[in-house]
Structure 1
Amino acid sequence: MAIKLHRVERPEEDFQMAPMIDMVFLLLVFFMCVSTLAQADKSKEVTLPESLESEVAEDLSDRGVVTVDADGQAFLGERSVSAAEIKAELQSSLEQNPRLRVTVRADQETSYKDIKAVLRVCADAGAYEVIYATHQQ
């Protein structure tokens, strides 16, 4: 005796595109914001001096960066600034965030008198935790 099997016809499931479009839109906005912020934090390229004793900080929050190129010119980000502008920016930043730590990035060809001038401005602004950046060998 043969058994008859009936196939159950299932309706095709529709693929919902609206949630997919929403997700793609959110990812697009996210990456646009992140790329804009990455450009804002960009700093002038310098060749840092090498050190055997350098340590890479684990906590990079609450950092301000001042860069000094080989000619002794100071930069905040990629913007060239004077000593008075550095002091004003640091004082403003320290008022908003008293835990701010300043990283001084100086080219290995920079004379010490130019680095000392920037360190003096940082001290005059009230930044007492200043970190001198070096490249780990």
Structure 2
Amino acid sequence: MKFKRPSASDNEGPQLAPMIDIFFLTLIFFMVASVYSQFERNISIIVPKAASGEDNSRYPGEVIINVDKDGKFSINNSEKSISEIDTILADISSYYTGQPVIIRCDGDSAFSNYVKVFDLCKNHSIENVRIATLGESE
């Protein structure tokens, strides 16, 4: 029986295929994670709790309008005036009829701020409007 002796040519170094697989799996993970991180969550806004509050499913392309406790409005982490929000909602409603809008109003904010945004949605025939709340258990 003849056994083959290990030679210098058998030791070719580390295998690259598993390293490339790990690299691409990590790349895919961060690409997917970045898509989910685009859902806007302004952590300075504390939405009120509601007994019927639930975590609804998210829709692609939904517009999230944040209203902080000082009455400042923002979309996509940039502060907007009420007239700018009116223009944005007018453009959106002209292109997309069933566009979902989520109003995240701080619990300490004046109710009139919520009414302003809701009124703009109604004026532009946007009917898919939701109010962000927390459930009682959260």
**TM bracket, shorter-chain basis:** 0.7 to 0.9
Structure 2 partner of 1:31: 30
Contact 1:42 1:78 in 2 (8 A): yes
RMSD: 3.1
Counting only pairs closer than 5 Å after superposition, residues 53-64 of structure 1 correspond to structure 2 as 53-64=52-63
Deviates more, 1:55-64 or 1:28-37: 28-37
Superposed displacement of residue 13, structure 1: 6.9
Structure 2 partner of 1:103: 102
Secondary structure of the residue aligned to 1:92 is helix
Structure 2 partner of 1:117: 116
Q: AA paired with 2:129? A: V
Greater C-alpha radius of gyration: 1
Contact 1:43 1:76 in 2 (8 A): no
Aligned length: 132
Q: Residues 22-76 of structure 1, C-alpha deviation per residue, up to 9 Å, x if partnerless?
A: 86268448736854883x5434330010011112113433421001011111110
Deviates more, 1:87-96 or 1:121-130: 87-96
Superposed displacement of residue 127, structure 1: 1.4
Q: AA paired with 1:42? A: E
Q: Provide the TM-score with structure 2 as the length reference.
A: 0.74
Contact 2:98 2:126 in 1 (8 A): no
Structure 1 unaligned regions, length at least 5: none
Contact 2:72 2:79 in 1 (8 A): yes
Instruction: Find the aligned partners of 1:29 and 1:59 in 2 and give their Cα distance.
Output: 22
Q: AA paired with 2:3? A: R
- The correspondence for 1:42, drawn from 36, 40, 43, is 40
Q: Provide the TM-score with structure 1 as the length reference.
A: 0.74
Secondary structure of the residue aligned to 2:108 is coil
Instruction: Find the aligned partners of 2:78 and 2:18 in 1 and give their Cα distance.
Output: 42
Q: AA paired with 2:52? A: E
* Structure 1 consecutive aligned stretches of length 4 or more whose deviation exceeds 6 Å: none
